[in-house]
Amino acid sequence: MKIVVVKLSLLYVSVIVISLMFTSQSFAKIDPKTIGGMWLFDEGQGDIAKDSSGNGNNGKLKNGPKWVKGKFDEALSFGGPNSNNCVLAPDSKSLSMTKNMTLIRHLDERNKRRNDGVMYMMDGIDACKGLYSVRPPAYIFRGYYGLPYVRYATEELGGLPKAKFLAALRAEGAGVSSGAPGGHGHLQAIFRERNHPAFTRPEVKREVKYEEGDLPNSENPRQDLFTIPAFPTPSNQLLDQYIEAFKKVTENAEELLE
């Protein structure tokens, strides 16, 4: 019989839920119709972790995880990332990952469709006065999970402020935003404190020295950039509507100055 290994890196775990879908982090309620397995770890004894989903995927404790008091009721204590403590769940239809694997199979196709749409829109934007798309070099494949950038040359549009330009685009229905890469991420605790959990492994010898002013370009991002959407499956009609909005606003920039 095949088995599915459910292995945890957290020291204390009180609830595990497997749901057969790809999603970003959220706080949605658990749907009993789609859940594959749910192990509450509330037994407190024995070598079986019962599946509360109703699918019968009871797990078997292997290599000595210990029952302890959790934050809520009982819990299992695992030995950390270097241990082989785990809970084994049986292979079953409800835990099948076939659907997810099918989605991965089409990932390249979906990425290409998104990227082709971005390049199509950028070609149209580049034909507009004062707008310059920011593109990766030809030898780099850019997966547009983040938003693409366009440089706005205010001096070429009579000094029209970027805020007014973007407001006019939004009035035409274009989803654009002011913004630029950069910020103060390197000044967060994870990059400045050696006692942060990310640096507690013995093999990590790195010294953290980031201070304010060390990365001036990141701390002071460019103010002449804005973002455009990266649609997953855009139609040419939608992209043409965006391009027409850019043309209309740039061609009437002088009127926006009045």
The pair of structure tokens assigned to 156 is: 């070429």
Measure Cα distances from 212 to 169, 185, 220, 233, 236 in Å.
36, 11, 11, 41, 45
For tokens 């049986």, the residue is 90
Measure Cα distances from 27 to 31, 55, 190 in Å.
12, 23, 25
Map out the domains of the chain with their CATH numbers. 3-103 (no CATH), 107-181+221-257 (3.90.1150.10)
pLDDT in tens, the chain (258 residues): 344 444 443 334 444 444 434 343 444 467 777 788 888 898 999 999 999 888 899 999 998 888 998 877 888 888 766 678 889 888 888 887 665 555 677 778 888 889 899 999 999 999 999 999 998 887 877 766 678 999 999 999 999 999 999 999 999 999 999 987 777 777 877 777 766 666 666 666 666 677 888 888 778 778 899 999 999 889 999 999 999 999 999 999 999 987
Q: What is the rounded distance in angstroms from the CA atom of residue 179 to the CA atom of residue 148?
A: 10
pTM of the model: 0.55
